[in-house]
Every structure is written in C-alpha cells, then in structure tokens.
Amino acid sequence: MNRRKKLAVLALLLAAAALAACGGQPNDSTGAANEVTVYVSTDRVFSEPILKAYEQKSGVKVKAVYDTEETKSTGLANKLLAEKNNPQADVFWSNEPVRTLVLKSRGVLASYKSLNADGIPATFKDPEGYWTGFSARIRVIVYNTKLVKPEEAPKSIYDLTDPKWKGQIAIADPRFGSTSFHVAALYAELGDEQADEFFRKLKVNGVKIVPGNSVVRDLVVKGEVKMGLTDTDDVNVALEDKQPVAMVLPDRDSIGAALMPNMVSLIAGAPNNEAGKKLIDYLLSAEVERALAQSEAVQIPLHSGVEGPKNIPPLNAFKPMTLDYGKAASRVEDVVKRLQPLLDL
C-alpha cells in the first residue's frame, strides 16, 4: 500500500474510532450469530476501516469479501447470483445502484427497512425495502490543468466528442463498476439512438478504455491524456496530493451529472439474518456518512444536516440527472452488448 492509501486508511480509522466512541447499536444479546459476512464493492481503503470500527463497537466479527478494481460491483454481483440457492453473504454493500437492482430483480435480496434510513430522501430508498442508498459520489470530467485551461475545459460529456480532443480522453471499461452504471443511466435517459451516437463519436475520437476510474485519473495526472470521465473520490485523491487536475460537474444546462449512492441490501436466506440487519443499521447511520464525507472518499451525505466533504459541492449545488434506477438496471446487460461492437470491447 502506498503512502497516499496509508494516509487515507489512517484518516478513516481516526474518524471510525470517533464513530465507535459515539455508541449506537449495542451488542446483540439475543443469542444471534456473532459474525456477519458482507460483500463489498466500495473501495477497500475506504470501507474496511468503517467495518473494523463496527467490529470494535459491536463485538461482532465482520467477514468482508472485497471486489477488485477491474470487476467493481460486477464480480460480486455475479458471485451473489451464483450463490442464490446457497447464500454465503448476509449483506451486500455496493458502490453503485445498478447491480443491486439487478440482484433484486433476480430474487437475491430480502426486504429490510432500517429505522436509520428515515433521514434519507425517498429517492434513494426502495419503497419495498430491498435496498437503501447512502453516501453518494458524482460522475465528473477530470482534466489536467497544465494542458487544458479552465475556460477551455469541457462543460458537457458531449464536448468529449469534439475533434480537438481526439486521442486525449480516457474512460474506465463500461462493463464494470460506476462506469457501467453511468452508461446504463445514459441509455435510460437518452434512448438507444442518441446514446449509441454519443459512444460512436467517442470511439471515432480515439477514446482510451482503461481498467478502472483510478487509472483514468492517473493518466490525466501524468498528462498521458488531457481529460477523462471518473468519480469524485478518484479526483479528490489527486487534489489532496496537489496534482495538476480539476474537475467539472458536467451538463448543468442539460441532462445533469450522474449521482451514484452506495447501496446496502440484506441477502435473501442470509445465514446470519439478524446480524446482517444490525450491520445495515450501522452503515445507514448519519455517523457513517459523516466519516465517509470527511475521509478521502469525500462522499456526499444523504442524511440532511450532515456536513459534506470540502472539495465536493453539496446536493443542492449542482444538477443531478433525473434517474429511474430501475430502468437503468433493466438495461445494463443489453447496454453492455450494444457497447461491445461500438467500442471494440
């Protein structure tokens, strides 16, 4: 682990230690299992300290299985599907909405409405209780400030198709992680014809497809490309390291920027059902949102009254896409098939 990630872990550990000291759910005295298994696609450097603090506070052993950068959310979603008839996990903590909704449609999730979700807007909660969103990120354009002047920086994702940026744009593989959510959201919002045309123009403009959002950021930092699409937490890492980058929250005057909450869900037939519910209660607390906001993860709290991160605008300061998460989820597999020939995946 490099110095930056060590510092990120330390910062979150300190925040999580304070969280543990705040009290919260007491240890289960009803004789429920003293362990809980959670599958996590949120970056381990940000999620692990939160889970360690829960262990300290509750006395419950947390067995966490983390996704890889290359298969973010998709890998663990496929694992949960494969285990549907013999569940091994109790909770799924996803870094984006689409795969969670796919799991709901496949009967992998169970309904659970945590009281700690009462302060989260209804937009980010399944009415039936199969998933709840918390601590969101934004899809943004990142650019190298040594190579692109602020007044020249793209203001819209459509600007990335401008020939003047040919060969100077990177995106993460759209089959995985938050990029898969973003492309599914675009198809749901724009329709097939307009979305196909956008990605066709990106391909003509020489877009580079790379293994993950952090790779996009690193290429921009190094000046190997001038700009790319990534997430706010990835850009913040570079900002904290004083790298020559800036971000644009795109499409303020049109479709808006894609907002991606974390999602947490109970697994149907979970081996440790009650322990899973208690972990969900914890993750949906305002204190966890505060810890994630003040860490290098810079995630935007969905509970009202929780202070947001310093480098990221609050929810009321930008235009989010008007998204039907269910519609986007229903399109994700078809969208991947459509993009394979368009982007030579």
Do the domains 137-258+324-343 and 3-136+260-313 match in fold? yes
137-258+324-343 under CATH 3.30.110.40, yes or no: no
Q: What is the DSSP string of 302-340?
A: -STT----TTS--GGGS-B----HHHHHHHHHHHHHHHH
Q: Report how far residue 1's alpha carbon sits from residue 285's, in angstroms, rounded to the nearest whole number.
A: 29
Question: To which H or E segment does residue 236 belong?
Answer: helix 232-240
- The CB-side HSE value for 237 (13 A sphere, CA atoms) comes to 24
Q: Report how far residue 267's alpha carbon sits from residue 271's, in angstroms, rounded to the nearest whole number.
A: 9
Q: Report how far residue 195's alpha carbon sits from residue 316's, in angstroms, rounded to the nearest whole number.
A: 27
Q: Report how far residue 140's alpha carbon sits from residue 222's, in angstroms, rounded to the nearest whole number.
A: 18
Q: Any idea what DSSP says for residue 334?
A: H
Q: Are strands 227-231 and 132-144 parallel, antiparallel or unpaired?
A: antiparallel
**Closest C-alpha among 258, 251, 209 to residue 231:** 258
N-to-C CA span, the chain: 30
Place of tokens 């490099």: 2
Q: Note the CATH number of domain 3-136+260-313.
A: 3.40.190.10
Residue 28: predicted pLDDT: 43
Q: Any idea what DSSP says for residue 312?
A: S
Residue 310: predicted pLDDT: 83
Walk along the chain (345 residues) and give the pLDDT tens digit of each residue: 454 555 455 455 545 555 554 444 444 433 356 999 999 998 898 899 999 999 999 999 999 999 875 555 578 999 999 999 999 999 999 988 888 999 999 999 999 999 999 999 998 999 999 999 999 999 999 999 999 999 999 999 999 999 999 999 999 999 988 898 899 999 999 999 999 999 999 999 999 999 999 999 999 999 999 999 999 999 999 999 999 999 999 998 899 999 999 999 999 999 999 999 999 999 999 999 999 999 888 999 999 889 999 888 877 778 888 888 888 888 888 999 999 999 998
Place of tokens 């394979």: 340
Residue type, 340: Q
- Helices first, then strands: H and E counts in the chain: 11, 10
Integer CA distances (angstroms), 176 to 112, 196, 341, in order: 27, 18, 16
Q: Report how far residue 52's alpha carbon sits from residue 43's, in angstroms, rounded to the nearest whole number.
A: 14
Q: For the chain, give every domain's residue range.
A: 3-136+260-313, 137-258+324-343
Exposure pattern of 230-258 as b/e (b: 16+ CB <10 Å)? bbbbbbbbbbbeebebbbbbbbeeebbbb
